[in-house]
Structure 1
Amino acid sequence: MPAAPAQAAPAAGSTAAPKAGETVTRPLLTALKSLPVREEDRTGYQRTSFKHWVDADKDGCSTRAEVLKAEALTAPDQGAKCKLSGGRWYSEYDDRYVEGPSGLDIDHRVPLAESWDSGAKDWSADERRAYANDLGDERALIAVTAKSNRSKSDQDPSTWMPPAEGNRCEYVSQWVAVKTRWKLAIDPSEESALAENATRCPNTPITVRLAR
């Protein structure tokens, strides 16, 4: 999905809510506190509600392949119909290097089911498609080992954190960034887990270009 043109941020002191295409920068703890908190509801969720791994730019490579190419430490060979072979990747969740693409999954940093729970059930089909294939922010999708991705499944930080402790601050920051970008809510247990972890992390500013 083509990125929207940048727009000017609201003037200082303005109470207008930032809109899609605008960029916001907030320290991690402030960004976390800016997220709406409410109970989640998975009623009606189906993975098929999010059309994913599309070829948005019609170059023959799906979103999955685009992420693999972008994140490769050693570039894979690309064959017919964007079939990838070879290459080398680093899986941040479990601090492992992976040879070849077959052992990798592309993780939605904030899982599709979690996004449904926290606001996406009210979106249009086009918005859900855009979310599921978000190449506009490198924090949204990440190549990780299939084992770590399936261990995480659709859990939020209250029940799952990366096994690699050195990745946890980055994980919290990027989770908050994705929720901010898509204006998604957090539930009370998720808020508590994020806050507990964030207090052990640098309060580094997060810059996000809003998708909606």
Structure 2
Amino acid sequence: MPDQHEPSPTLGFEKPSKRTLFKHWVDADDDGCPTRAEVLISEATRAPQVGAKCRLSGGEWQSYYDGATWTQVGDVDIDHMVPLAEAWDSGASAWNPARREAYANDLGDTRSLVAVTDNANQAKADQDPAEWLPSLEAVHCRYVAEWTAVKLRWQLTADTAEKNALTRLAANCPDTAITVKKAT
């Protein structure tokens, strides 16, 4: 039995969280606005003012997960449709850092990053559709289609529970077509 006064063998050597392995909110196009601001600008229902260093003020956003409307930037999170930890477990663990950064900042498909209520995003955390769905049932088909599109775009896998949930949910969405351009 180890001495009770010995430090834990992992102290100071904990593995980084999966989220930290994805560099996100970069300014990929060098326009002064990081990815988070780019999504807020593009998804605003009323355009915000863009100030120095891309500071946003004013504006309005509607979170499709819960139907809430927000006018304070701080009340809106940018959700990775397929959370970073879920992406990691679905194949991103084999990617190099540049591909993980591209995934975390994907502005090439509007379904990849979504402006939503901060509490809804926190409730979702890293859960897949087998474990979490938006509170508004009316948007479940949209959510399932967007989730599936992002998984296909990035060639990520789905575990059995996730696949079963997606199949069950998609059965209620007969008129939903998904078009995907694979990420490079």
What is the identity, as a one-letter code, of the residue corresponding to 1:63?
Answer: T
Aligned partner of 1:119 among 60, 77, 91: 91
CA distance in 1, matches of 2:107, 2:93: 21
Does the aligned pair in 1 maintain the 2:141–2:176 contact within 8 Å?
Answer: no
Match of 1:162 in 2: 134
How is 1:58-73 mapped onto 2 (pairs within 5 angstroms)?
A: 58-73=30-45
Q: State the partner residue of 1:180.
A: 152
CA distance in 2, matches of 1:120, 1:53: 18
Of 121, 129, 136, the residue aligned with 1:149 is 121
Distance 1:146 1:186 in 2: 26
Give me the whole-angstrom Cα distance separating, in 1, the residues matched to 2:50 and 2:116.
20
State whether residues 18 and 84 of structure 2, in contact with CA within 8 Å, keep that contact through their aligned partners in structure 1.
no
Q: Provide the TM-score with structure 2 as the length reference.
A: 0.90
Give the partner amino acid of 2:98: D
| Aligned match of 1:193 | 165
| Shift >4 Å, 4+ stretches | none
Superposition TM-score, scaled by structure 1 size: 0.78
Tell me if structure 1 keeps the 8 A contact 2:128–2:162: yes
Residues 1:171 and 2:166 aligned together: no
Larger-gyration structure (1/2): 2
Separation of aligned partners in 2, 1:97 and 1:45 = 31
Letter in 2 for 1:158: A
How many residues were matched structurally? 170
> For residues 155 and 40 of structure 2, what CA distance do their matches in structure 1 show?
26
Q: Are residue 55 (structure 1) and residue 32 (structure 2) matched?
A: no
User: Unpaired segments of 5 or more residues in structure 1?
Assistant: 1-42
Name the one with the larger strand percent. Answer: 1
Counterpart Cα distance in 1 of 2:151 and 2:42: 22
1:80 aligned to 2:52? yes
Which consecutive unaligned segments of at least 5 residues does structure 2 have? Answer: 1-14
**Structure 1 residue identity aligned to 2:100:** R
- Closer/same/farther in 2, CA of residues 45 and 183 from structure 1, 3 Å limit: farther
1:98 maps to which of 63, 70, 91: 70
User: Percent of counterpart pairs with the same letter?
Assistant: 56
Q: Displacement, 1:205?
A: 2.1
